[in-house]
């Protein structure tokens, strides 16, 4: 299938990240990438031609024009016109479909010529305003889907944006919407206050399909979302061992909006794990430290609820074991992302942008693309291994390791005896090397003993789990990245070796 090119206007520095985010999202979204590719002026190869002729030629070649208008007007040519205005005028003259997105609501802070350009565009077409990257992505998504419908290239909308059959506006809760608007205004400065008419608020969030609510609207603000989407529930289970065993000691199925699902699932996990309550010496409320960082657990659950495949018959599952927390959600990573990409700065490619934006506005999610990196940082700050991510049978699985002895029904030694049985031979070779050495060993020597070449894989899959379960420890614990860092076997590590020998 031939793909239409989209030319994204504006070379102002204020939109450098937004332009990249647009390109990453469109070309990574499973639906949009079938129909579109994105042209950015800065991606064009060097050419023996004037810059203004090059970008105007790109406007001519593009099937759609996307204009990002902000505070700056940009460099002015001899006639006092910026590239952004030249591009807009060229797209207008060539009869190109134009999608205009204006950042911010206060036009008084803009360059006078940019304010005039926004007014000129407003006289010709409907502009959309946005406050941040997630809102831009959600609005662009809705606009491109609408364009595909109008041109007949898309006969049915994506599931999350399509009308929810048999649902009406009366199936939405004004109270839940007002609660969201109050939180979004306080957390992100969202412009619509509580009390905004229901249809106006839904239109602003791109949640209306005709006169009725979309699936996304029902999931966000429905009185009883599972009446229309039964599998949108979240199943939470607690096992005292390290595997799935029946009967399940604690099993809860939660229903409600996406916000309520995250809150209920988070409360389930926090009620089952160990916690330490501090004193009120530094404030009116006593601080609570959980064995797993609360923020990391919340991020994992919010990821699953936000980015799951809602057309699937499967549900999100949150499973707490003696040694780990696993969060399963139906769906796969976008083709543009790999598991390895998640461990480094990466673009945000939300599966459900119409849900991702409200989750961001209500602070259930942070800036696009940083959530998983925050999870990794939070876990490492408290001495736990970095979370692990994997795909299995159409499910995306996030695993957070608990500290040894975390489950109240088992002491630390019993947990250590359970989990390491599953360690691969390469991990056992690390322990054996430490046992036979008369002095602590460096990471490089231990990696060599394990027979592994990839440093990141060795650290994440072997060294950190051994540290987390207390089988080895650092010689400089308060400086984990010191070049003089060495590792030594602990009493638990010696006990594990003894256990292995007894079983042979």
Q: Residue 26 contacts by C-beta under 8 Å, 6 or more apart in sequence?
A: 6, 32, 33, 36, 37, 38, 140, 144
Sequence-distant (6+) residues with CB within 8 A of 11 are: 41, 42, 55, 74, 83, 84
Please give the share of the chain, as a percent, with pLDDT higher than 90.
48
Q: Which two tokens stand for residue 494?
A: 């010696």
Q: Which pLDDT belongs to residue 243? A: 87
pLDDT for position 415: 32
Decide if pLDDT at 401 tops 90.
yes
User: Are 121 and 65 in contact, with CB atoms under 8 Å apart?
Assistant: no
All CATH 3.40.50.450 domain ranges of the chain, comma separated, are: 4-155
Q: What is the pLDDT of residue 407?
A: 55
Mean pLDDT for the stretch of residues 183-194: 92
Does the pLDDT value for residue 36 go beyond 80?
yes
SS (H, E, C) 443-469: HHHHHHHHCCCCHHHHHHHHHHHHHHC
Tell me the C-alpha distance between 350 and 416, whole Å.
38
Quote the strand ranges of 248-379, DSSP E.
250-254, 275-277, 288-290, 316-320, 324-330
pLDDT at 365: 81
Indicate where the chain has its CATH 3.30.565.60 domain(s).
231-401
Spatial distance between the Cα atoms of 306 and 350, rounded to a whole number of angstroms = 8
Minimum mean pLDDT range among 315-319, 346-350, 393-397: 346-350
CATH class of 412-503: mainly alpha
Q: Is the pLDDT of residue 170 over 90?
A: yes
The predicted-structure confidence for 422-436, as pLDDT tens digits, reads as follows 555 666 667 766 666
User: 231-401 — its CATH code?
Assistant: 3.30.565.60
pLDDT in tens, 5-30: 999 986 667 888 888 889 989 988 88
Residue 321 has pLDDT above 50, yes or no: yes
Check whether 438 has a pLDDT greater than 60.
no
List for the chain the helix, strand, coil content (%; round to 5): 45, 15, 40
| The pair of three-digit structure tokens given for residue 67, joined into one six-digit string | 């204009």
Of 304 and 426, more confident: 304
| pLDDT of 34 higher than 60 | yes
In 3-state terms, what secondary structure has residue 18?
helix
Q: Report pLDDT for 207.
A: 96
Q: Report which listed range, 1-15, 294-308, 399-413, 440-454, is most confident.
A: 294-308
The answer on pLDDT for 418 being more than 60 is no
pLDDT at residue 353 above 60? yes
In angstroms, the CA 340 to CA 455 distance is 13
pLDDT above 70 covers a percentage of the chain that reads: 86
Closest listed residue to residue 104, CA positions, set 127, 123, 138: 127
CATH 3.20.20.70: does it fit domain 4-155?
no
**Torsion angle of C-alpha atoms 74, 79, 80, 84, degrees rounded to 10:** -30
Decide if 181 contacts 229 (C-beta within 8 A). no
Q: How much is the pLDDT for 280?
A: 46
Helix (H, G, I), strand (E, B) or coil at 397: strand
CB 190 within 8 A of CB 129: no
Label residue 405 by pLDDT band (50, 70, 90). low
CA atoms of 41 and 21, how far apart (whole Å)? 15
For 76-101, the pLDDT digits (tens) are 888 999 989 999 999 999 999 999 99
Weakest mean pLDDT among 72-81, 125-134, 432-441: 432-441
Phi first, then psi: give them for residue 147, nearest 5 degrees. -60, -45
Highest averaged pLDDT of the listed ranges 35-44, 150-159, 163-172, 328-337: 163-172
d(CA 215, CA 200): 17
- Can you read off the two tokens belonging to residue 465? 């789990």
Q: Is 391 helix (H, G, I), strand (E, B) or coil?
A: strand
Residue with the larger pLDDT of the pair 253 and 276: 253
Give the DSSP per-residue string, 63-120. Answer: SEEEEEE-S------TTS--HHHHHHHHHHHTT--EEEEEE-S-GGGS-HHHHHHHHH
132 vs 298, residue with greater confidence:
298
DSSP state of 422: G
pLDDT of residue 43: 67
Query: Which has the minimum average pLDDT: 387-391, 455-459, 476-480, 494-498?
Result: 494-498
Angle at 98 between CA 93 and CA 103, to 5 degrees: 125
Determine which of 41-55, 203-217, 408-422 has the lowest per-residue pLDDT on average.
Answer: 408-422
Per-residue DSSP letter, 349: -
- Would the CA dihedral through 349, 355, 358, 364 be positive or negative? negative
Instruction: Provide the pLDDT for residue 447.
Output: 81
In this structure, the dihedral spanned by the alpha carbons of residues 472, 473, 474 and 480, taken in order and rounded to 10 degrees, is 100
- Cite the residue boundaries of each domain of the chain with CATH code 1.10.10.10: 412-503
Task: Reply yes or no on whether the pLDDT at 442 is more than 60.
Answer: yes
What is the reported pLDDT for 412?
32
Residue 408 has pLDDT above 70, yes or no: no
E strands, 278-379, where? 288-290, 316-320, 324-330
| pLDDT above 90 (res 472) | no
């Amino acid at each position: 299938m031939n793909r239409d090119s989209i030319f994204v206007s504006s070379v102002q520095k204020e939109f450098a990240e937004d332009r990249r985010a647009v390109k990453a999202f469109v070309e990574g979204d499973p639906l949009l990438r079938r129909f579109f590719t994105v042209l950015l002026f800065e991606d064009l190869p060097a050419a023996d031609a004037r810059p203004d002729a090059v970008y105007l030629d790109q406007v001519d070649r593009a099937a759609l024009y996307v204009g990002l208008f902000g505070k700056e007007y940009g460099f002015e040519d001899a006639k006092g016109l910026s590239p952004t205005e030249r591009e807009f005028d060229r797209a207008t003259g060539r009869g190109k479909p134009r999608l205009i997105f204006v950042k911010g609501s206060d036009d008084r802070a803009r360059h006078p010529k940019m304010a005039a350009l926004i007014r000129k565009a407003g006289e010709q077409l409907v502009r959309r305003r946005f406050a941040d990257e997630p809102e831009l992505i959600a609005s662009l998504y809705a606009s491109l889907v609408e364009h595909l419908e109008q041109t007949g290239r898309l006969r049915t909308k994506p599931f999350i944006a399509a009308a929810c059959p048999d649902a009406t506006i009366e199936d939405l809760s004004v109270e839940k919407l007002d609660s969201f608007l109050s939180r979004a205004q306080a957390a992100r400065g969202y412009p619509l206050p509580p009390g905004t008419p229901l249809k106006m608020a839904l239109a602003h969030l791109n949640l209306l399909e005709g006169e009725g609510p979309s699936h996304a609207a029902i999931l966000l603000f429905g009185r009883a979302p599972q009446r229309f989407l039964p599998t949108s529930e979240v199943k939470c289970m607690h096992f005292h061992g390290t595997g799935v065993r029946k009967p399940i000691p604690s099993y809860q199925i939660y229903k409600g909006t996406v916000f309520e699902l995250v809150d209920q699932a988070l409360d389930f996990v926090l009620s089952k794990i160990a916690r330490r309550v501090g004193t009120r010496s530094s404030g009116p409320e006593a601080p609570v430290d959980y064995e797993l960082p609360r923020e990391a657990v919340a991020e994992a659950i919010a990821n699953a609820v936000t980015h799951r495949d809602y057309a699937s018959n499967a549900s999100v599952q949150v499973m707490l074991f003696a040694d780990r927390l696993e969060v399963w959600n139906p769906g796969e990573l976008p083709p543009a992302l790999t598991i390895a990409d998640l461990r480094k700065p990466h673009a945000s490619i939300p599966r459900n942008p119409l849900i991702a934006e409200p989750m961001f506005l209500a602070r259930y999610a942070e800036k696009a693309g940083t959530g998983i990196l925050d999870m990794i940082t939070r876990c490492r700050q408290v001495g736990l291994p970095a979370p692990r991510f994997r795909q299995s049978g159409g499910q995306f699985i996030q695993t957070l390791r608990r500290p040894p002895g975390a489950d109240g029904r088992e002491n630390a030694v019993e947990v250590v005896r359970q989990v390491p049985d599953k360690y691969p031979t390469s991990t056992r070779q690390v322990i054996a090397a430490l046992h036979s050495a008369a002095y602590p060993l460096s990471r490089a020597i231990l990696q060599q003993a394990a027979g592994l070449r990839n440093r990141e894989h060795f650290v994440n899959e072997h060294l950190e789990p051994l540290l987390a379960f207390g089988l080895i420890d650092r010689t400089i614990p308060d400086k984990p990245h010191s070049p003089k860092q060495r590792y030594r076997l602990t009493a638990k590590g010696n006990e594990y070796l003894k256990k292995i020998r007894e079983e042979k």
